[in-house]
């Protein structure tokens, strides 16, 4: 999954777009600041954004720990997708005409390595058809959906450290019990995976809540993009590693190794991280003063009362919700069922399966970083408005992947073209990291954690539905069923991109500032030629 950073500064040529006054104001209000023992007049060139942003700063250390944490989050989530190939006696169902089912595509593996690898996996002990596998894979999201909004709400009030750390720790501890649950039966495994999802559901909303206190407004995109891309990197590492462990040690060790790694990360997290800069024991005074002065009131907890009615009647928020659902449909289809497609239709061995399934996540990781940097540069130079940037990257991440999904449906058994098209599709979907995925902080930075919880609740539904739908469609004829899967994914992707393009926005909404809807235009935007002409986040080699 998978969506998770933002930068609220709105540089636009349009007079209709508002400047997010509450975020930039701390930089403009203080006529003099004491930073590192020296007096600095509030001049854009004197704000210490570079000197205190060195690689070893507390906030970049936090970003790196989050990167590792979300690598673990996705490793714990996706390992079952590949391990499933080793856990069952056959990853294909047993229809009446089994010979027809298996003969759709030839086995291209050299020396019949697919069958050989199956013989070496000595613990394939479960008789699960494709429908049962779909239910097991989707069960994670039964619990995941329940803690999105509560997690964002509580993390925004109490702080995100506890919820992010506990989310990973609980999921990792339960992962250690996966072999036991599987041996007891499908219902036990489904319940266990749902509980794992329940624990993980708070992690991304908690991340947003923490960055509201830690990330200066003009650095949010870089900090949050880096930490959030841990999900793609974790999938890239976990998928081939899972295949290797299954082949070498057996599938049970997958869950023991990843579960133990998650527990170790949680221990480091609780020992090294604080909820806010003021309580960090190792942060420099310069960095602490810089963060607190630039974040200002925006870093405060939002309190118990939230403008839920205004949120739920906000069309820009619904544009994010629809886009989140539609893009996640294709994302979760590939995340949870791509290894099954490669085993059922393309007949890759388990080691090939794990490696090739990971390739799209590496390219997605790179694509996310590139798009985040490109989006920042476009906004920094006032080439286009924030609204245009968000819509452009969302279209790139929805309509273009849809075209490659359709192309995949037409290539039948050409496994080289199939993997190429699916890799390109996944890579393009990652463009959404600079689109709707970070739009929460554009429209309501104060409530970014809650908004992510709301949209990710809807975005989790595909994780519950898609694997079951795929299992049902491919139960009798894998190749024909997967064609339908690709058509459905393409249609849903296109709809999400079109809807967001029509109704999305990059402007801060009135309800995010406690202003009645009818008075949104009464608040004038701040115009600051100095701020515009001298972007404060441009690297300076002298600092």
CATH number for the domain spanning 402: value is 1.20.1250.20
Taking 70 as the pLDDT cut, the residues of the chain under it are: 1-55, 89-104, 107-124, 217-218, 296-304, 514-543
Query: Would you say residue 10 lies in a domain?
Result: no
Q: Residue 176: what are its φ and ψ, rounded to 5°? A: -60, -25
- φ, ψ for residue 88, nearest 5 deg: -105, 155
> What burial class does residue 284 get, using C-beta atoms within 10 Å of its C-beta: 0-12 exposed, 13-18 middle, 19+ buried?
middle
**pLDDT in the model for residue 23:** 42
The residues pairing with 35 across neighbouring beta strands, listed in sequence order, are 38
- Under a CB-based contact definition with an 8 Å cutoff, are residues 368 and 139 in contact? no
- Computed on alpha carbons and rounded to an integer, the radius of gyration of the chain in Å comes to 24
Residue 116 backbone zone (phi > 0: left; psi -120 to 50: alpha; other: beta):
alpha
Instruction: Give buried/exposed letters for 410-430 (b at 16+ CB in 10 A, else e).
Output: eeeeebeebbbbbbbbbbbbb
In this structure, the chain runs to a length of: 543
Query: Could you tell me which residues come within 8 angstroms of residue 57 by beta carbon, excluding any fewer than 6 positions away?
Result: 283, 284, 287
Question: Beta-carbon neighbour count of residue 288 at 10 Å?
Answer: 18
Q: How far apart are CA 131 and CA 407, in angstroms?
A: 26
Indicate whether 31 belongs to any domain.
no
The two counts, helices (H) then strands (E), for the chain are 24, 2
Cβ contacts of 13 within 8 Å, gap of 6 or more: 382, 384, 385
32 by DSSP, 3-state: which?
Answer: strand
| Predicted pLDDT at 86 | 85
Nearest 5°: CA angle at 277, between 375 and 229?
A: 35
The answer to whether residue 13 is domain-embedded is no
Domain presence at residue 528 = no
The pair of structure tokens assigned to 99 is 């010979």
Domain interval for residue 461: 59-520
> How many domains are there within the chain?
1
Rounded-to-integer distance, Cα 299 and Cα 216, Å: 9
CA quadruple 236, 320, 305, 442: dihedral sign: positive
> What does pTM read for this prediction?
0.73
Bridge partners, residue 34, by sequence: 39
Q: Considering the domain boundaries, does residue 535 fall inside one?
A: no
Strands 32-35 and 38-41: antiparallel
Q: Are 104 and 413 in contact (CB under 8 A)?
A: yes
User: Is 53 inside a domain boundary?
Assistant: no
Which residue, chain included where needed, has tokens 């239910």? 135
Residue 388 lies in a domain: yes
Classified as helix, coil or strand, 126 is strand
Angle 448-473/315-344 helices, nearest 10 degrees? Answer: 40
Long-range contacts of residues 296-299, Cβ cutoff 8 Å, at least 24 apart: 296/22, 296/23, 296/25, 296/26, 297/22, 297/26, 298/22, 298/23, 298/26, 298/212, 298/217, 298/445, 298/446, 299/212, 299/213, 299/214
Which residues, in sequence order, are bridge partners of residue 41? 32
The distance in angstroms from the start CA to the end CA of the chain is 36
**Residue 7: inside a domain, yes or no?**
no
């Amino acid at each position: 999954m998978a969506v998770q950073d933002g930068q609220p500064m709105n540089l636009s040529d349009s007079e209709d777009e508002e400047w997010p006054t509450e975020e930039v104001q701390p930089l403009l209000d203080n006529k003099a600041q004491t930073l590192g023992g020296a007096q600095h007049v509030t001049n854009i060139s004197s704000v210490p954004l570079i000197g205190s942003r060195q690689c070893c700063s507390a906030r970049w250390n936090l970003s790196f720990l989050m990167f590792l944490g979300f690598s673990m989050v996705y490793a714990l989530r996706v390992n079952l997708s590949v391990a499933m190939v080793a856990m069952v006696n056959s990853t294909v169902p047993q229809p009446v005409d089994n010979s027809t089912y298996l003969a759709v595509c030839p086995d291209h593996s050299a020396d019949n390595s697919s069958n050989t690898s199956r013989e070496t996996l000595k613990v394939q002990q479960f008789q699960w058809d494709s429908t049962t596998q779909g239910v097991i894979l989707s069960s994670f999201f039964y619990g995941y959906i329940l803690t999105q909004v509560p997690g964002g709400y509580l993390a925004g009030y109490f702080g995100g450290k506890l919820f992010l750390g506990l989310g990973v720790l609980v999921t990792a501890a339960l992962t250690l019990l996966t072999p036991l649950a599987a041996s007891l039966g499908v219902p036990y495994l489904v319940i266990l995976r749902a509980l794992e999802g329940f624990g993980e559901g708070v992690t991304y909303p908690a991340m947003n809540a923490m960055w509201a206190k830690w990330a200066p407004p003009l650095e949010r995109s870089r900090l949050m993009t880096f930490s959030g891309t841990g999900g793609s990197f974790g999938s890239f590492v976990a998928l081939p590693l899972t295949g290797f462990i299954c082949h070498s040690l057996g599938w049970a060790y997958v869950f023991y190794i990843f579960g133990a790694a998650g527990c170790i990360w949680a221990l480091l997290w609780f020992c090294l991280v604080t909820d806010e800069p003021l309580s960090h024991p190792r942060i420099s005074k310069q960095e602490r003063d810089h963060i607190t002065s630039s974040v200002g009131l925006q870093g405060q907890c939002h309190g118990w009362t939230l403008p839920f009615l205004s949120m739920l009647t906000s069309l820009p928020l619904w544009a994010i919700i629809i886009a989140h659902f539609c893009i996640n449909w294709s994302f979760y289809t590939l995340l949870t069922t791509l290894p099954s497609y490669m085993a059922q239709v393309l007949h890759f061995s388990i080691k090939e399966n794990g490696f090739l399934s990971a390739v799209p996540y590496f390219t997605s990781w790179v694509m996310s970083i590139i798009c985040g940097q490109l989006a920042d540069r476009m906004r920094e130079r006032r080439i286009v408005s924030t609204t245009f940037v968000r819509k452009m990257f969302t279209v790139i991440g929805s309509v273009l992947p849809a075209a490659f999904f359709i192309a995949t449906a037409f290539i039948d058994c050409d496994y080289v073209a199939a993997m190429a098209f699916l890799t390109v599709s996944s890579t393009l979907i990652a463009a959404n990291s600079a689109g709707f995925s970070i739009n929460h902080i554009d429209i309501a930075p104060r409530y970014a954690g809650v908004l992510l919880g709301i949209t990710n609740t809807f975005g989790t539904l595909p994780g519950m539905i898609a694997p079951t739908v795929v299992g049902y469609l491919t139960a009798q004829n894998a190749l024909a069923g997967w064609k339908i899967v690709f058509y459905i994914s393409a249609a849903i992707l296109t709809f999400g991109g079109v809807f967001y393009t029509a109704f999305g926005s990059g402007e801060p909404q009135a309800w995010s500032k406690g202003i009645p809807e009818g008075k949104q235009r009464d608040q004038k935007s701040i115009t600051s030629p100095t701020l515009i002409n001298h972007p404060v986040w441009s690297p300076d080699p002298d600092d």
